[in-house]
Amino acid sequence: MAAPEQEPGGQRPAGLGQGGESPPASPPAAAMGDGPPAWSPASAQAASLLEEAAELLVLQRDFAAALERCEAGCGSLGPAPGPDSCMEVKCSLCVVGIQALAEMNRWREVLSWVLQYYHRPEHLPPKILELCILLYSKVREPQVMLEVGSSWLKDQTNKSLPEYGSLLELYLLHVLLPLGRFEGAEELVYSCDVLDSEQKLAFVETICEKRCQWTQQEEMHSAHDEQEDKATETVLGALSQKLLTMLTLLRRTLRSMSSHFYVLPYKKMLLATFLLYLVVVRLDPASPTSLPFICKLVQLFRQAWAAVLSPIHRPPIQD
């Protein structure tokens, strides 16, 4: 799965230039003066791993190896905040790692993977938070970023960042409004001291518009559900009618069979069975002494046959 595209008005993720170019291996311009760059050995090692990870991601398409380089680079920098150059390299390593995870269809691990290096949501760099919001919005799971974005926006230190306004808009449009959190969105806008009155009014108008669209969609879904329920009731009614007809026929058949069983001459059947046992087992059918028993047995079978079959369907019995 490819990484999410950049939304209008957002920041381009660190580590990748225009057209997917690999991040520069050299230190950032802010960390370079007239003399040689004042980088620690850990920062230099992380920058080298960043260059390798970007090459593996973009050129060789070896996403697992690129992720390993990113993890090694972030691990070498440690959890403690460092100079701006170190934080920029760490941010770029995380961007490349997020893209590698997304390419391997492991986007569910992105947030937990990033938080193991920044530990708290409010410590996430703006570029990392923006990329995570866009990623989980694209895969239609914005609820993952609900608490993370709220914690980041409530932090007083983050409110002084120049990216705060764009991230607030991104959080509203891609997290709160798709989840139907209109009251929370309005509360966030009204309580934000960074926005002026015009910006707040524009956000409130956007929230009202999205709420109207949400209500219309809910009404359409409700009407569709009602139609489906009516269709289901019609089908179930037809099936119930057929089932009732089948049960009625089955009851009549069982009643007819039971009436035939009731008219069976059980005593004569038992006597015929006993005589058959005597003729076949105890006596010799060819013996003249067995002739009376055989005649009585035939007579009993005729009577049983006449009792079971109705007069209309009774076949003629010839002597």
Q: What is the DSSP string of 104-160?
A: TT-GGGHHHHHHHHH-SGGGS-HHHHHHHHHHHHHTT-GGGGHHHHHHHHH-TTGGG
Mean pLDDT, rounded, of the chain: 77
Going by pLDDT thresholds of 50, 70 and 90, the confidence category of residue 228 is: confident
What pTM did the predictor assign? Answer: 0.58
Specify whether the CB–CB gap between 181 and 211 falls below 8 A: no
Q: What is the pLDDT of residues 55-77, one digit of tens each?
A: 999 999 999 999 999 999 998 88
Q: Quick one: CA dihedral 122, 125, 128, 134, positive or negative?
A: positive
The CA-based angle 224-227-231, given to 5 degrees, is 140
Whether the per-residue pLDDT at 26 is higher than 70: the answer is no
- As a whole number of Å, the CA-based R_g of the chain is 43
Q: Can you tell me the distance from the alpha carbon of 221 to that of 32, in angstroms, rounded to the nearest whole number?
A: 59
Q: What is the pLDDT of residue 147?
A: 94
Using the 8-state DSSP alphabet, how is residue 248 labeled? H
Residue 124's closest CA among 99, 103, 101, 145?
145
Specify whether the CB–CB gap between 1 and 105 falls below 8 A: yes
**At 292, which amino acid appears?**
P
Q: What is the pLDDT of residues 94-139, one digit of tens each?
A: 999 999 999 999 999 999 999 999 989 999 999 999 999 999 999 9
- What is the mean predicted confidence (pLDDT) over 135-148? 93
The token pair at 312 is 């209309």
Q: What is the pLDDT of residues 160-175, one digit of tens each?
A: 999 999 999 999 999 9
Element (H, E) at 215: helix 197-262
Q: Residue 45 — φ and ψ, nearest 5°? A: -65, -40
